[in-house]
Each structure stands twice: as structure tokens, then as C-alpha cells.
A = this chain, B = another copy of it.
Amino acid sequence: MKISFLGLGVMGAPMARHLVHAGHDVTVYNRTPAKADAWVAAHGGRAAATPAAAADGADVVLACVGADADLRAVTLGPDGAFVAMAPGSLFVDHTTVSAAIARELADVGDRRGLLVLDAPVSGGQAGAENGALTIMCGGSEAAFAAASPVMQAYAKRMGHMGPAGAGQLTKMVNQLCIAGVLQGLSEGLALGRAAGLDLDAVVDVISKGAAQSWQMDNRAGTMARGQFDFGFAVDWMRKDLGLALDEARRLGVPLPLGALVDQFYADVQGMGGGRQDTSSLIRRLVR
């Protein structure tokens, strides 16, 4: 299949690589062209100078860029993919963005006869590298059905969550849950540390019961040891929480914990931790 991939960041680069390995004919675009050239040298395929050039003749165009403005530029911009995409072709966005832009792209796509799917992922860089991402999809049944066999190249799990925007909304739910888990875990570990407990022993005994979480299983040890230079960056988490807070304001849903943890992450950014894993939330409490 002729596939175009827009955005070769820490997520996009390995996802596009999995598409090559799955046997697709892949053309890539990246805002910094040198990165696209390096990717092509390493993995094959072709590099294009603009999203439109990359999308020309493609059956499927996928994007994994930074945020709403980046996504708008590579899709609806003057050199954006949408000007070149043929009716019946499929656009899949893996970027975590607002539900509003997901719906806007779906609307524009509808008018032009394109299939459009919002498909943010979770699983982080490791999930992208290992082809083990969870993909939360919003869009028509036809778009989900067309995208599934392609995304299979790097997905562990895919869910069709509803119409356009539903993938993004599901990702927001995911991030709010993580925010709560991590702040609770941070406060618990901080109290345990101050009280002189052996944190590994504490986690061992409480991690089989009602306090258990993926973050406790996978991050409590590194939190106790002050190791944060890996994983999902605080800067990206703030972007995601910002999206959730905007959507909640629109819907009239109070998110007191989401708003508070977002501010706590601003503290962590102020401490120089913007690129550290989200579990660095504990740095505010244990120094």
C-alpha cells in the first residue's frame, strides 16, 4: 500500500519504520528535512519536501506531529496533505490534539470524500518502538475499518470509541486517570519516605490490593530512587492536561485534580524537569 507518514519524532519515526517492515511503500515528511533524510537512509522509502508532496498518490496518510497548530499546518495548510489527497483515501491522525480539530478535519474530509480517523496513542516511546501501542480511535466505521490493518503494524490494542473526536476524548480520560494515580502515589511515597519506611517494602505489600496501579508497578521504584530521565515527558503531559481542561470547561465538567496536577507539573517544569517522565511529580515533595 502507498503510505505517507508526516512527523518523524520519537513516536512517528518508529511507527513509520514498522510500516516499512510491514511491506508498505512509505513516503515520509518531516518539518526538519535532515531528519527525514536520515530516516530514509536508515529504513528505506522516500522523503518528500512538503506534506502535500508526501500525500500525492498515497492510499493512506498518517500524521504524528506536535499539537493542534502543527496538525493544522500539515493537513489544511497551503502545502498540507489535504490538497493532494484523492477522494476515497484515508487520513489518520496519531497526534494528541483537541477533539475540536479532530472534528474539523473529519468535516473537511467528508466534504472532499476522504476518510478521516483521530487515533491518539498511549504506550509512549517504548510502545512505539516495540509496536505495542494502544490506539483510541474516533471517526466513521469505514475509516476505522480502513485504518485498522495499517495500524496493526504498531498496535497492541485498538478501540473504536465513537464518532470524530472520540479518540481524543478517550485519551483525555486516560491522562486524567494517570494524573490522579501519580499525584496520589507521589504523596504516599513522600509520606512514607519522611516517616522512614522502606519504600520498596511498602510498595511490595500494598501493590497487590486496592491501591495497585500500573504506575505503582512500573514507576514507584524509580520514583523512590529519584530516576526520571525516561518515559513520557512532563511537557507533553501538560499539553494533554491542557486539552482535557479546555474540553472540560467547554462541557462544564469540574476537574479540580486535573487542574491542580497541571499546576504541579508547571512546578516541575520550573525545576527543569520538562523532559522528565511524568512520575517526576514526586520531585515537588521529595527533594
Residues of B contacting A174 in the complex (Cβ-Cβ under 8 angstroms) = 188, 206, 209-211
The 0/1 profile, CB within 8 Å of B marked 1, for residues 158-185 of chain A is 1101100110011011111111111111
> Which positions 49-98 of chain A face chain B at CB distance < 8 Å?
none
B209 touches A134 (CB 8 A): yes
Determine chain A's interface SS by DSSP, over half rule.
helix
Report the bound CA distance from A265 to B184 in whole Å. Answer: 15
A136 touches B184 (CB 8 A): no
Known: A157-B208, A174-B206, A204-B159. A169 touches B181 (CB 8 A): no
B195 touches A169 (CB 8 A): yes
Chain A contributes a number of interface residues (CB within 8 A of B) equal to 72
**Chain B CB within 8 A of A1 CB:** no
**Chain B CB within 8 A of A189 CB:** yes
Report the bound CA distance from A231 to B62 in whole Å. Answer: 45
Residues of B contacting A195 in the complex (Cβ-Cβ under 8 angstroms) = 99, 165-166, 169, 247, 251
Report the bound CA distance from A195 to B158 in whole Å. Answer: 20
Report the bound CA distance from A148 to B189 in whole Å. Answer: 26
**Given A180-B187, A181-B181, 5 additional A-B pairs, CB 8 A:** A162-B198, A176-B191, A177-B184, A195-B247, A210-B218
| Contacts from A to B (Cβ < 8 Å) | 99, 122-124, 134, 136, 156-159, 161-162, 165-166, 169-170, 172-185, 187-192, 194-198, 201-202, 204-206, 208-216, 218, 232, 244, 247-248, 251-258, 260-261, 264, 285
19 sampled A-B residue pairs with Cβ under 8 A: A156-B208, A157-B205, A157-B209, A159-B201, A161-B202, A162-B197, A169-B191, A169-B197, A170-B197, A170-B206, A173-B211, A174-B209, A174-B210, A179-B184, A181-B211, A194-B251, A195-B247, A213-B213, A256-B260
